[in-house]
Amino acid sequence: MENNYRTLKELAMPDVVYQPWCIQYPQLEPAQTYELKFVLIHLLPKFHGLAGEDPHKHLKEFHVVFSTMRPQGIPEDYIKMKEFPFSLDGAAKDWLYLQPVLFNTWGDMKCMFLNKFFPASRTATIKKEICGIRQHSGETLHKYWERFNKLCATCPHHQISEQLLIQYFYEGLMMMYRSMIDTANGRALMDKTPVATRYQISNMASDRINIIGKVTCCWTTSTESAISSTTFPAISSTTFPATTTTESAVNVDRNVKDAFKSSD
């Protein structure tokens, strides 16, 4: 009956019913007030929901901004739930707007965010990359160590023990750098704890100019001198000196030790 009194133009207008907001903010005390500052919104990192983006990194950056601008006396969940929507853009913001689930806590919101943009399949892929990591040709110990740590940081819930992490890193080393680490530990790497081993590798990687340069030079020089000092038989002969490789390895090991002694 009501439509009988409405014009055609009014009847053609869409009757839009917006989906309720998916965030239910915690209740504040009567004396508590919070105003979202424009400067804070401007400082928030942006997450667009693209394939190459790291949601864990976004949450870390979001927490850094939050911790520097948090007012006293206001619940942490309340502020984070107020601020977080402003850190999303593009597909990520669409995901939030179309969310049918009601978020009551910051923990719920963060969990759903990670489930969407860091699914179990991505976790499995990164865990495989960690287990099978290999040092690239021409990659220094520092660069390899840095790449390994960044890979682990992209998936903080990988649930791989520290022992296995060190093992995967060590097994992926090129022989020259593996020999360098063995020598620095007196050939007793297995006698160290995983934490001590990580500390040792980190120190060696950070001192890449003073130590790695010397080791590389020693390795190259000793190998070249071993080759140049060797008199090979005529091309028609199939017999080669059996001592060349062994002597070269001994010289390398000795020079590596000298390099570490001189760097102390």
Shared domain check, 153 and 109: no
Over range 191-196, report the average pLDDT: 88
Full domain range(s) for residue 12:
8-118
Nearest to 112 by CA among 85, 137, 140: 85
Phi, psi of 9 (to 5 degrees): -65, -40
Shared domain check, 182 and 254: yes
Shared domain check, 61 and 142: no
**For the segment 146-179, what is each residue's pLDDT rounded down to a tens digit?**
999 999 999 999 999 999 999 999 999 999 999 8
Angle at 24 between CA 26 and CA 75, to 5 degrees: 25
**Intra-chain end-to-end CA distance of the chain, in Å:** 94
Total domains present in the chain: 2
| pLDDT confidence bin for 13, thresholds 50/70/90 | confident
Burial 161-192 (b: 16+ CB within 10 A, else e): eeeebbebbeebbbebbebbbbbbbeeebeee
Residues present in the chain in total: 264
